[in-house]
Amino acid sequence: MFYKTTVKDHIRVPPNLFSENVDAAVLKVVKEKYSGFISQDIGVVIDVSKINEVGEGIVIPGDGASFYESTFELLTFKPEMHEVLNGSIKDIADFGAFINLGPIEGMIHVSQTMDDFVTFSKEKVLSGRDSKRSLKIGDLCRARVVAVSFKDLTNPKLGLTMRQPGLGKLEWLEEDKNKKSAPVKAEKPAKKEVKK
């Protein structure tokens, strides 16, 4: 889920930025420091929205830089358990599919791609034996988050499933919707044979 998060931090502005406006210098340092930052608490930082407040600067002897207690807003993405996300298939391997969800990627194990027996081909396609459905690179899909791990902050892991109603390749969802809304032909009632 996307969040707007307010953060308070002491920002170190180096002497080479002293000629700039204080707010502009702080914004430049905050963008540099927080761009792509990943944390279990706030998720993946996408952008610095704005600087709310910049306190009075303090120079610490021996450093030469100025420190400003600043409050600013970050636009972040933090995946939540059971959240439904849309994305596109980035890569496929024999064990599953990797899906690009924007600021982060997730993995769908082969057993979670569809409710069918799934085979992998050398052309990087996952195919369902009975449903004849296929999943390939570039397909747009909807998946649910079933596992989130920030154990390695440089590479957070997301486990996803597409084996629940309303999930899967968007084309499959459209096909299922059309099947449900198709008119059903009424069968003629069987004639009862009356014995006299």
pLDDT, tens digit only, all 196 positions of the chain:
889 999 999 999 999 999 999 999 999 999 999 988 898 888 899 999 899 999 998 988 888 899 999 999 999 999 999 999 999 999 999 999 999 998 889 999 999 999 889 999 889 999 889 989 999 999 999 999 999 998 888 788 899 999 988 899 999 888 888 887 766 565 665 566 666 5
| DSSP symbols for the chain | -EEEEEEEEEEEE-GGGTTS-HHHHHHHHHHHHHTT-EETTTEEEEEEEEEEEEEEEEEPTTT--EEEEEEEEEEEE---TT-EEEEEEEEEETTEEEEE-SSSEEEEEGGGS-SS-EEEETTTEEEETTT--EEETT-EEEEEEEEEE-SSTTS-EEEEE--STT-EEHHHHHHHHHHHHSPPPPPPPPPPPPP-
Domains with residue ranges and CATH for the chain: 2-77 (3.30.1490.120), 84-180 (2.40.50.140)
Query: Is 0.85 topped by the overall pTM?
Result: no
